[in-house]
Amino acid sequence: MKIYLASASPRRKEILSMAGVDFEIMVSDVDENISSTSAEDLVLKLSKLKALAVFDKLSDTDTLVIGADTVVAVDGKVYGKPKDYEDFHQMMLDMSGKEHQVYTGVYMAYRDKGGKRDDKSFVNMTKVYVDELDDEDIRAYWESGEPVDKAGGYAIQGRFAKHIKAIIGDYYNVVGLPVNEICRELKWLQKS
- Known catalytic residue: 41? no
92, 146 contact by CB (below 8 A): no
- 37: DSSP letter: S
The C-alpha angle with vertex 29 and arms to 23 and 32, in degrees rounded to 5, equals 115
Q: Which of 69, 173, 61, 58 is nearest to 118 (CA)?
A: 61
Catalytic residue among 69, 118, 131, 137: 69
82: helix, coil or strand?
coil
81, 151 contact by CB (below 8 A): yes
163, 178 contact by CB (below 8 A): no
The backbone torsions φ and ψ at residue 116, rounded to the nearest 5 degrees and listed phi first, read -80, 140
94, 77 contact by CB (below 8 A): yes
Q: Which residues are catalytic?
A: 69
